[in-house]
Amino acid sequence: MKTIGVVTSGGDAPGMNAAIRAITRIAHSKGLEVLGFERGWDGLLTNTYKRLTPRNVGGIIQLGGTMLHTLRCPEFEKPEGVEQAAETLELNDVEGLIVIGGDGSFRGALDLSRKSETLMVGIPATIDNDVYGTDETVGFDTAVNTAVSSIDKIRDTAVSHERIFIVEVMGRKRGFLALEVGISVGAEVILVPENECKLEEIIAIVKENTRKGKRAGIIVAAEGVGDTGAIGQEIEKQTGSEVRRSILGYAQRGGSPTARSRMLAGLFAEKAVDLLCQDQGNRVVGLLHGAIISTDLEETCKKQKPLDMRLMKLAEMLAI
């Protein structure tokens, strides 16, 4: 193997830059050239890349986002797009491609692997933590900490004004971010798409808390649960408690990666380059029970990571 490619695709996540830096430096130490394709899969459609060297990836370990830029690229989902990308890889003699992104990006890599000789390896990087085969994705820890520090501030207002705040966090269709954030801020209620929580149950909890003298409260809701504004209004109407909604939004996606996200990026990069050097493709690296492992790409695309429901129980016990 002489040349490998790197691409960041889908939603940006803090630690993507740390992964690009680590891949480049590890690959160079093994005598490999690294091409960084720009703007997600679009860079493979248009043959747009930067030659990455240990020097030009300096000074980015602490930066959020991705120096290679990223976008969602619907053209890539068409057969002509995948063929074009395969041609770009062949044209540049790219023998291995490391895809840094989420499950959508890996589905793209799987399609591409069917048309190209290039070996594909995925590095899970998304704040949603919704990738099968890894306990944690690059960027997740950073997003959890960002959301926690915002909600700690919101709690000050909640307590001072004796209000209930329903705080919406990201996560797309999954509740990994909401669950970990919810436990970490001591939320009174956590709403996740995986666990249908009836409005009556939330109302009963709020009423019971008021009876116990707990007049302020934080409800952490995953964006995937639906209209949090309507849920908040209904709680206010049925309990008489003052309810406000706060959507944390894009502030959760950016920012300097935590040490944990940077470490994970380095460990995943090492594993990804090692796999390519051993001529192993169609793998996605991951962290399972403390060990760095890899899973078959197709399995990663087809299977859904379960949410740990024991954590929901823990959250309930901690919220009394």
* Smallest separation (angstroms) from ligand ADP to the CB of 206: 35
Are the C-beta atoms of 220 and 231 separated by less than 8 Å?
no
Letter for the amino acid at 225? Answer: V
- List the beta bridge partners of residue 283: 121, 296
Q: What is the DSSP letter of 223?
A: G
In whole angstroms, how close is the CB of 107 to ligand ADP at the nearest point? 4
- Tracing tokens 């049925």 back to the chain, one arrives at 238
Residue numbers of the site for ligand ADP (CB under 6 A)?
9-11, 41, 72-73, 76-77, 101-105, 107-108, 111, 126
| 80: CB partners within 8 A, 6+ apart | none
Residue 106 or 165 having the CB closest to ligand ADP = 106
Q: Burial-class residue 223 by CB neighbours within 10 Å (0-12, 13-18, 19+).
A: buried
Between 228-239 and 199-211, two packed helices, what is the crossing angle to 10 degrees? Answer: 50
The DSSP secondary-structure symbol of 93 reads T
Shortest Å, Cβ 9 to ligand ADP: 5
CA atoms lying within 13 Å on the CB side of residue 159: 8
Active site residue 152: no
Q: Which of 111, 128, 130, 141 is catalytic?
A: 128
Nearest approach in angstroms of CB 149 to ligand ADP is: 24
- Greatest extent of the chain over all pairs of C-alpha atoms, in Å: 70
**Residues carrying an active site annotation:** 128
